[in-house]
Amino acid sequence: MSQAQRIVLASRPVGEPKASDFRIEECAAPTPGEGQVLLRTIWLSLDPYMRGRMSDAASYAAPVPVGGVMEAGTVSEVMTSNNPGFAKGDIVLSRAGWQTHALSDGKGLAKIDPNIAPISTAVGVLGMPGMTAYTGLLDIGKPQAGETVVVAAASGAVGSAVGQIAKIKGARAIGIAGGKDKCDYVVKEFGFDACLDHRDPDLAAKLKEACPKGIDVYFENVGGAVFEAVFPLLNAFARVPVCGLIAHYNDTQAVAPKWAGAMMRNILTKRLTFRGFIVSDFAARHGDFVRDMSVWVREGKLKYKEFVTEGLESAPEAFIGLLKGANFGKQLVRVGPDKV
Amino acid sequence: MSQAQRIVLASRPVGEPKASDFRIEECAAPTPGEGQVLLRTIWLSLDPYMRGRMSDAASYAAPVPVGGVMEAGTVSEVMTSNNPGFAKGDIVLSRAGWQTHALSDGKGLAKIDPNIAPISTAVGVLGMPGMTAYTGLLDIGKPQAGETVVVAAASGAVGSAVGQIAKIKGARAIGIAGGKDKCDYVVKEFGFDACLDHRDPDLAAKLKEACPKGIDVYFENVGGAVFEAVFPLLNAFARVPVCGLIAHYNDTQAVAPKWAGAMMRNILTKRLTFRGFIVSDFAARHGDFVRDMSVWVREGKLKYKEFVTEGLESAPEAFIGLLKGANFGKQLVRVGPDKV
């Protein structure tokens, strides 16, 4: 039996998660039973939604139980297969979680063709974050040529795709990110029309300047000060896909945003649309997503940036950092080599 | 020259409008010029949106200037016509405002066939309020058979149509109205499944009881305590067409609703849709509206109730009452007889 490791939820965080809310455990690699495959994790994806799974507040998915393995999407290799659908050496997209090895009965596994794109993109631009950007922007935001689209966390996995898809559709893309390096990258590499630093005390004024014709689509993934700067600039008929609220995930109590009292009135008088979604709501669009995004990536119209930490044991710290914007690009953990 | 009367905005109300915010003026009936028609008002429609026009706060339409005639839709008769499109005696839908007589160049006038339905319905169930209910409910609310639809002001022009259209589509309709008489009427005459009194201190608990499977569509036309009772009952994927906020029209400052701090989080986790609209946004649906609603009214599937005050001079008090729910049905002012 080879050795395995897993990271479990040690305790439910109050506010910002701490290293002690996670526990790394050593165990024997499991043995696949009939119909099962043994998976080895290559890439572990860390994403903001996982903060919700650590909490037992009502949400769209059940929380991870205390003592349970942290959930995550992974890119994994089939090491042993007792399932006729999979062969040793297959690379698959799985929800194996924060661990080096996992068993699966094959349900929910999707094979990845390593010849199409680097396999890590299956949990990035060609996976869940990319599809979140694609469906939220196109199916809810519906940007038209010449309109202005604003998105925060613009150097991240979702935000970077949102702005680039907006550009592909002929809209202006204004990003918001943390710090000069990220902002420069968003403009120079991802081709946004402008990118503003959310730490700038003059964010509201600078955003207004960057959006002289107002904002038609605000892809909401942060909340907080960015929402407060965006809200008064929303044009009549603006659309706000609500994808995430990372600025609030560590809140210990609900805080009414500055515009709360005016929100319903503005929804009415400006005829705004606010619509929450999660990527699985648009499962029917998966074929369109794969077709469009793989072409855009291949043609260089849609770029991506990865931010990698090494080893499963780096995951807790990397995740805590992700919630504070310490990552610069799609946060990945390299759990194992591409080939053993 | 016959005598005419008009009601102008004397001053912008602060909070609740007062009788002194209006002024009735005597004047000569105007004389139509080339291409013009002289209109005599039969029915004047009073609607909550007019509170917005009395204020100079930013909204979707310009305010009535101080000293200007209050705006309104009317059912009017053509008294003199210098316009080949209209003949003396034609009954037309007009935006003649709060006055006994008006000139028009014919633009925006729509002829009404008095043989189809009582002409007053052209500003009621077969007019703007009916179309507001029809488009907001069907195009944004999208009720499905078996779902639960909640609407307040359920004995009023819009609310009564919302609930009845919901029933026609196979949904459950729960109304909210002011007082036992209105609630009884909403259930017995309009066929809602239940109707609750918004003044009931146990509204939240009773609404929960009346909606054992939660709320799928909340047609928002009031805000305030009703919204607070509705919000925690909204189901995943619930739709909230935001049509009006009558509970807030007299507010002198924005008041954050109880749920303000939780609103964005709930939009996200429950994947709610909030969308503001005004009826003119759906002008393209006018043909569908006329076709469907006239059939439903003729077949008795869609009933309406009118609440009439007599004489143009009654309009200010009737309007002030409308904002407090003093009306019981569609608020109309009988300005002149059907025939002179």
Specify the pLDDT at position A137: 98
In chain A, residues 123-182 whose CB comes closer than 8 Å to chain B? none
Strand B172-177 vs strand B194-197: parallel, antiparallel, or unpaired?
parallel
Contact criterion met (CB < 8 Å) for A262 and B268: no
Interface test with A, best of B60, B142, B249, B274 (most A CBs within 10 A): B274
* Interchain proximity A60–B236, CB inside 8 Å: yes
- Give B270's contacts in chain A (Cβ within 8 Å): 60, 276
Give the one of A58, A242, A267 whose C-beta lies nearest to B264's C-beta: A242
Residues of chain A contacting residue B244, judged by C-beta atoms under 8 Å apart: 268
Confidence band, pLDDT 50/70/90 cuts, at residue B303: very high
d(C-alpha A201, C-alpha A194), whole Å = 17
B265 touches chain A (CB under 8 A): yes
CB contact, 8 Å: A260 with chain B?
A: yes
Kindly tell me the burial class for residue B110, based on how many C-beta atoms sit within 10 Å of its own C-beta (0-12, 13-18, 19 or more): exposed
Mean per-residue pLDDT for B290-296? 95
Average pLDDT, chain B: 95
pLDDT over 80 at B257, yes or no? no
Give the count of Cβ contacts less than 8 A between chain A and B: 110
Q: Is B215 within 8 Å of B150 (Cβ atoms)?
A: yes
B272 and chain A in contact, CB less than 8 A: yes
What average pLDDT does range B277-305 have in this prediction? 95
A271 touches chain B (CB under 8 A): yes
Could you tell me if B160 and B182 are in contact, meaning their C-beta atoms sit under 8 angstroms apart? Answer: no
pLDDT band at B163 (very low <50, low <70, confident <90, very high): very high
Write down the pLDDT at residue B271. 97
A258 and B CB contact within 8 Å: no
Do residue A267 and residue B281 have CB atoms under 8 angstroms apart?
no
Domains of chain A plus CATH, in order, are 3-124+304-334 (3.90.180.10), 128-298 (3.40.50.720)
pLDDT band (50, 70, 90) for residue B250: confident
* Pick from B223, B265, B276: CB nearest A271: B276
Q: Is the dihedral of CA B217, B72, B250, B313 positive or negative?
A: negative
Given an 8 Å threshold on Cβ–Cβ distance, is B261 in contact with A256? yes
Determine, for residues B263 and A268 on separate chains, whether the beta-carbon distance falls below 8 Å: no
Taking CB atoms and an 8 Å limit, are B265 and A245 in contact across chains?
yes
Question: What tokens were used for B296?
Answer: 């439903």
The 10 Å Cβ neighbour count of residue B340 is: 8
The answer to whether A264 contacts B58, with C-beta atoms less than 8 Å apart, is no
Residues of A in Cβ contact (< 8 Å) with B59: 269
B132/B123 Cα distance (integer angstroms): 11
Distance CA B164, CA B172 (A): 10
Of A268, A269, A280, which to mutate for an interface test with B (greatest number of B Cβ within 10 Å)? A268
How close A83 gets to chain B, by Cα (Å)?
A: 36
B243 in contact with A at a CB cutoff of 8 Å? yes
Q: Which residues of B touch A59 (CB under 8 A)?
A: 269
For residues A7 and A315, is the Cβ–Cβ distance under 8 A?
yes
> What does the pLDDT read at residue A81?
97
- Which positions of chain A have pLDDT values less than 50? 1
Give contacts of A243 with chain B, Cβ < 8 Å. 268
Q: Which chain B residues have a beta carbon less than 8 Å from that of A276?
A: 266-273
Residue of A nearest to B223 (CA): A264
In Å, how far is A264's CA from the nearest CA of chain B? 8
Nearest CB among A248, A261, A267 relative to B255 is that of: A261
Task: Report DSSP letters for A30-98, one per residue.
Answer: P---TT-EEEEEEEEE--TTHHHHTS-S--SSPPPPTTSBPP--EEEEEEEE-STT--TT-EEEE---S
Structure tokens at A84: 């006729």
Q: How far is CA A311 from CA A5, A46, A126, in A?
A: 10, 13, 23
DSSP string, B76-116: EEEEEE-STT--TT-EEEE---SBSEEEE-STT-EE--TTT
Q: How far apart are CA B226 and CA B310, in angstroms?
A: 32
Q: What angle do CA B286, B121, B111 make, to 5 degrees?
A: 65
Select from B265, B268, B277 the Cβ nearest to the Cβ of A254: B265
Nearest CA in chain B to A281: B271
Among A253, A261, A267, beta carbon nearest to B276: A267
CB contact under 8 A, B267 and A274: yes
With 70 as the cut, is the pLDDT of residue B1 above it? Answer: no
CB-CB contact of B126 with B294 (8 Å):
yes
Q: Which of A252, A269, A278 to mutate: most B Cβ within 10 Å?
A: A269
Residues B37-84: tens digit of each pLDDT: 999 999 999 999 999 999 998 788 899 999 999 999 999 999 999 999
Cβ contacts of B208 within 8 Å, gap of 6 or more: B233
For residue A273, give the nearest of B59, B256, B273 by CB distance.
Answer: B273
Tokens of B155: 């004995």
In the predicted model, is pLDDT for residue B249 greater than 70? yes
User: Percent of chain B beyond pLDDT 70?
Assistant: 99
Q: What percent of chain B has pLDDT over 90?
A: 89
Q: Report yes or no: A289 and A121 within 8 Å, Cβ to Cβ.
A: no
- CA B18 → CA A37, B11, B253, distances in Å? 77, 9, 18
User: What pLDDT is attached to residue B246?
Assistant: 86
Q: Does B271 touch chain A (CB under 8 A)?
A: yes
Chain A, 82-121: which have a CB under 8 Å from a chain B CB? none
pLDDT at position B58? 79
Q: Which residues pair with B215 in a beta bridge?
A: B234
Q: How many CB atoms lie within 10 A of CB B176?
A: 31
Q: Identify the pLDDT of residue B273.
A: 98
